[in-house]
Amino acid sequence: MNATVHGLDPSVTITTLRSKDLLGIADLTPVEINLVLDTADAMKEIASRPIKKVPALRGKTVVNLFFEPSTRTRTSFEIAEKRLSADTLNIAIATSSVVKGETLADTAMNLEAMRPDMIVLRHSSSGACHLLSRICRSAIINAGDGMHEHPTQALLDAFTIRERKKQLKGLKVAIVGDLLHSRVLRSNILLLTKMGANVWVCGPPTLMPTEIARFGVTATSSVDEAVRDADVIMMLRIQLERMEGAFFPSLREYFNVFGMTEARMHLARPDVMIMHPGPMNRGVEIASEVADGPYSVILDQVANGVAVRMAVLYLLAGGAEHEEAA
Amino acid sequence: MKRLLKGGRVIDPANGIDGVRDILIDGDRIARVGTNLPAVDASVVDLAEGLVVCPGFIDMHVHLREPGQEHKETVATGTASAVAGGFTAVACMPNTNPVNDDANVTTYILDKARQANLARVYPIGAVSRGSKGDLLADIADLRKAGCVAITDDGHPVKTAILLRRALEYAGMFGMPVIEHCEDPSLKGDGVAHEGFYAASLGLRGMPGACEALGVERGVLLAELTGSAFHVAHMSARASLRAVRKGKDGGVRVTCEVAPHHFTLTDEALASPVPYDTNTKMNPPLREAADRDAMLDGITDGSVDAIATDHAPHHYDEKQVEFDRAPFGIVGLETAVPLSLDRLVHTGRIRLSRLVELLSVNPARILNVGGGTLSEGMPADITIVAPDMKVRIEAAKLRSRSKNTPFDGWELRGGVAATLVGGRPLFVNSEARISL
């Protein structure tokens, strides 16, 4: 596998990530992002084998520590870990001692005492992974922290785009929806702008982060403007409880103003890709005809998620260097 | 016992003094201020060149946490921290447990202060019972027991009508109403200043307008009632604008700024340590334009006082996720070095103006003693070493809590000694002084 994993662009000379953790896209360089994506290329092939397992993480212990409900991300990480032969265990909030009032720091220190190699953390508080990173020697992988980052989602999105469009540079990517509360948005903005894409973000002003222009994107509340000639349209989930915060009047009105319909989609380039990180609210941010239509790559994103997470796990475990040592 | 402080630069703005003077302390009082005073039977303290003798500094916004939260701070540890920071007196906020809305709580705090026998303590009572914002506390009782002002700090007074009544009622005793200015609905569940850094870190924001709305409300009601209104821990440029407008219109409004709001910005949320809970306070660290406005207000005289909002929290309480951490940092032992370094040595203000901000004006706003070195006054004296190199070390703070974002900072200027009622309660071993 080494040969394939390292069959990189000759200009790329790195084979591992600089940090012990993956806390966010903010910490990655474009070269590192390419390394992850190239490694994921090699990992994706494993899914097509009759025996979908390689020994890369044999003897490594990975803890999936999930303080928020998650089906897709947790399953994706677990499959990725198992395909790399890691020993995995899942801790969900309901079964942990957090219900007894233990702090995150104490939970982390107790886990750490059992010497895991990696901790995959999903938490509702922004920065929870940074707290863990300061406490733990294990590699921390951010599987989504509050409204901050969801780096593996952005990496799998980039992988999916690159698969179709060959490169990210110069593409017009429109991201539409609840920008304010979205960690997927923050990670995607960081990644796409680092890789030279032309990022447009669109949503109601009530759901737009402060000083969004400083993120290097073009912001608009006109969907038509955002999606016109777009190569990629990324829809973000609208959380149903946002109505109560008076961010918008009703789901019906939201769909009328911001929902992705076929008519709006046709303003984009003819080879547009429609993406969604899930879970979708059909008929709220996206019409079913679009979600299930020929331009949708939503299920490709899910499939690629496993390969990208395998790449991240592999690289943080030390990549080829670790394998050779073993 | 008599003590003669000899050869120091004395800054006493209330008496128009800024020059070399001797100060004779007799017992707990200042007996004489003059040049070449004879020692007679006094012990002579020769002050090294560069030391500055000031009326005792008064921190008008401190949380001593007692009763109820003694794991964070007590009256004894808080006043030890005060004298180590150059403060001869502190005014303590009523959000204890129970709330200081009752003369018994005031008496309890003052008893503890007497036992500690360190910095003077001026309790501030609650505006409303339990600081719940429904009914007025027994303000006359609180005053009789020793409260010098009222506030529902931690929160704004719940309704405009209650704030109006509080201003009217407290005005009868000449007590100011101190307000934590904030619009609760705009604050929402915000944990940081609404700006670029909160947005990129995914932290819920509260804008400067949230504070300024509270300031505007208070200024209007102070105008309506003719009573004294004091803006606590002001942080937003829009708030300063409202205060200036009020002052220009003759409204009795004053304001204080905390050292962290004239030194730090919201960039500290992201670096050097991302999500450091010691950068979480309310009001939050704001953007550079707000920080610069606070500096301008201090320079041009719009800001009346520097107060620390000393808010001790236990390590365990801060070692959590950012959005779950309590608001606040300790400030008593960092305020004077930060002020000297960032205000005086930058050329923004002169030392005499700093003395106004730290001593003269807090005494005036709270109508308490001190703020001058007049003959016959209690000998509450802060001796400053403006050029001393100071390194802030959180672990060495006298406060029971160590929650400061300034750990490791190297600053120019510090406290050489603190005397309360003539007693030297703090003498800095690193300053060239012996008392």
Beta carbons of A186 and B205 less than 8 Å apart:
no
What is the share, in percent, of chain A residues with pLDDT greater than 90? Answer: 84
Q: Which two tokens stand for residue A317?
A: 């475990």
| Separation of alpha carbons A264 and A295, rounded Å | 13
Chain B residues in contact with A149 by the CB 8 A cut-off are: 202
Q: What is the pLDDT of residue A73?
A: 95
| Separation of alpha carbons B408 and B419, rounded Å | 27
Residue B245 is classified by DSSP as: H
Nearest residue to B230 via CA among B349, B92, B61: B61
Q: Which two tokens stand for residue B223?
A: 């105008």
Q: What is the pLDDT of residue A292?
A: 97
Residue A149 is classified by DSSP as: B
Q: Using beta carbons and an 8 Å cutoff, which residues of A are at the interface with B?
A: 26, 103-105, 123, 125-128, 130-131, 134, 145-149, 183, 186, 209-212, 214-215
Please give the residue that has the higher pLDDT: either A92 or A127.
Answer: A127
pLDDT of A3 above 50: no
Closest-CA residue of B relative to A128 is: B321
Cβ contact A119:A141 at 8 Å: yes
Pick among B277, B321, B322 to test the A interface (most A CBs inside 10 A): B321
Please state which of the ranges A234-248, A304-318, B7-21 shows the lowest mean pLDDT.
Answer: A234-248
Q: What is the pLDDT of residue A98?
A: 58
Q: How far is B194 from chain A (nearest CA, A)?
A: 7
Residue B48 is classified by DSSP as: P
Q: Please state, as a whole number, how many other Cβ atoms lie within 10 Å of the Cβ of residue B247.
A: 17
| Separation of alpha carbons B60 and B335, rounded Å | 12
**pLDDT band, very low/low/confident/very high, at A100 (cuts 50, 70, 90):** low
pLDDT per residue as tens digits for the range A199-222: 999 999 999 999 999 999 999 999
Beta carbons of A126 and B324 less than 8 Å apart:
no
**pLDDT band, very low/low/confident/very high, at A2 (cuts 50, 70, 90):** very low
Task: Reply yes or no: is the peptide bond before residue B424 cis, omega within 30 of 0.
Answer: no
Task: Reply yes or no: is the peptide bond before residue B283 cis, omega within 30 of 0.
Answer: yes
Q: What is the pLDDT of residue A16?
A: 85
B192 touches chain A (CB under 8 A): no
pLDDT per residue as tens digits for the range A251-299: 999 999 999 999 999 999 999 999 999 999 999 999 999 999 999 999 9
SS3 A43: helix
At CA A167, angle to CA A163 and CA A169, rounded to 5? 150
**pLDDT band, very low/low/confident/very high, at A239 (cuts 50, 70, 90):** confident
| Separation of alpha carbons B261 and B53, rounded Å | 26
Q: Phi/psi zone of residue A250: left (φ > 0), alpha (ψ -120 to 50 degrees), beta?
A: beta
Active-site residue A72, yes or no? yes
Give every CB contact of residue A320 below 8 A, 6+ residues apart in sequence: A2, A5, A6, A15
Q: What is the pLDDT of residue A134?
A: 94
- Among B residues 202-231, those touching chain A with beta carbons less than 8 Å apart: 202-205
pLDDT of A99 above 80: no
B201 touches chain A (CB under 8 A): yes
pTM for this entry: 0.94
pLDDT of A6 above 80: no
Nearest residue to A30 via CA among A171, A194, A162, A173: A194
Cβ contact A39:A311 at 8 Å: yes
pLDDT per residue as tens digits for the range B64-75: 999 999 999 999
Pick among A182, A187, A211 to test the B interface (most B CBs inside 10 A): A211
Nearest to A127 among B196, B316, B322 (CB): B322
Q: What is the pLDDT of residue A325?
A: 58
Cβ contact B321:A128 at 8 Å: yes
B274 touches chain A (CB under 8 A): yes
Nearest residue to B364 via CA among B31, B26, B60, B21: B60
Chain B residues in contact with A127 by the CB 8 A cut-off are: 201-203, 274-275, 321-322
Q: How far is B416 from chain A (nearest CA, A)?
A: 37
Query: Could you state, in chain order, the average pLDDT of each consecutive group of 10 residues for chain B (435 residues)?
Result: 95 97 97 94 92 98 98 98 98 98 98 98 98 97 98 97 98 97 96 98 98 98 98 98 98 98 98 97 98 98 98 96 97 98 98 98 97 98 98 98 98 98 96 88
B268 touches chain A (CB under 8 A): no
B316 touches chain A (CB under 8 A): yes
Q: How far is B276 from chain A (nearest CA, A)?
A: 9
Chain B residues in contact with A125 by the CB 8 A cut-off are: 321-324
ipTM: 0.92
Q: How far is A147 from chain B (nearest CA, A)?
A: 4
Please give the residue that has the higher pLDDT: either B310 or A244.
Answer: B310
Please state which of the ranges A3-17, A157-171, B220-234 shows the lowest mean pLDDT.
Answer: A3-17
Cβ contact B394:B115 at 8 Å: no
| Separation of alpha carbons B300 and B236, rounded Å | 16
Q: What is the pLDDT of residue B206?
A: 97
Nearest residue to A150 via CA among A318, A297, A282, A312: A312
Beta carbons of A146 and B323 less than 8 Å apart:
yes
Give every CB contact of residue A256 below 8 A, 6+ residues apart in sequence: none
Chain A residues in contact with B323 by the CB 8 A cut-off are: 125-126, 146
Q: What is the pLDDT of residue B151?
A: 98
pLDDT of A52 above 50: yes
Beta carbons of A126 and B196 less than 8 Å apart:
no
B322 touches chain A (CB under 8 A): yes
Per the residue annotation, which of B152, B309, B341, B380 is the catalytic one? B309
Beta carbons of A105 and B319 less than 8 Å apart:
yes
Cβ contact A68:A144 at 8 Å: yes
N residues, chain B: 435
Token pair 């703070």: residue: B397
Nearest residue to B157 via CA among B138, B183, B176: B183
Q: What is the pLDDT of residue A8?
A: 41
Q: What is the pLDDT of residue A10?
A: 45
B269 touches chain A (CB under 8 A): no
Nearest to A125 among B195, B273, B324 (CB): B324
Q: What is the pLDDT of residue A102?
A: 85
Cβ contact B53:B383 at 8 Å: yes
Nearest residue to B362 via CA among B245, B236, B256, B222: B256
| Separation of alpha carbons A174 and A198, rounded Å | 9
**pLDDT band, very low/low/confident/very high, at A324 (cuts 50, 70, 90):** low
Q: What is the pLDDT of residue A244?
A: 75
Q: How far is B183 from chain A (nearest CA, A)?
A: 16
Nearest residue to A13 via CA among A28, A27, A34: A34
pLDDT of A326 above 60: no
| Separation of alpha carbons A80 and A275, rounded Å | 22
pLDDT per residue as tens digits for the range B149-189: 999 999 999 999 999 999 999 999 999 999 999 999 999 99
Q: How far is B335 from chain A (nearest CA, A)?
A: 28
Nearest to B275 among A130, A211, A215 (CB): A130
Per-residue CA distances from A316 to A22, A32, A120, B161 (Å): 8, 12, 12, 60
Q: Please state, as a whole number, how many other Cβ atoms lie within 10 Å of the Cβ of residue A80.
A: 27
| Separation of alpha carbons A293 and A302, rounded Å | 16
| Separation of alpha carbons B405 and B329, rounded Å | 8
pLDDT per residue as tens digits for the range B383-396: 999 999 999 999 99
Chain A residues in contact with B204 by the CB 8 A cut-off are: 147
Mean pLDDT, to the nearest integer, of A62-91? 95
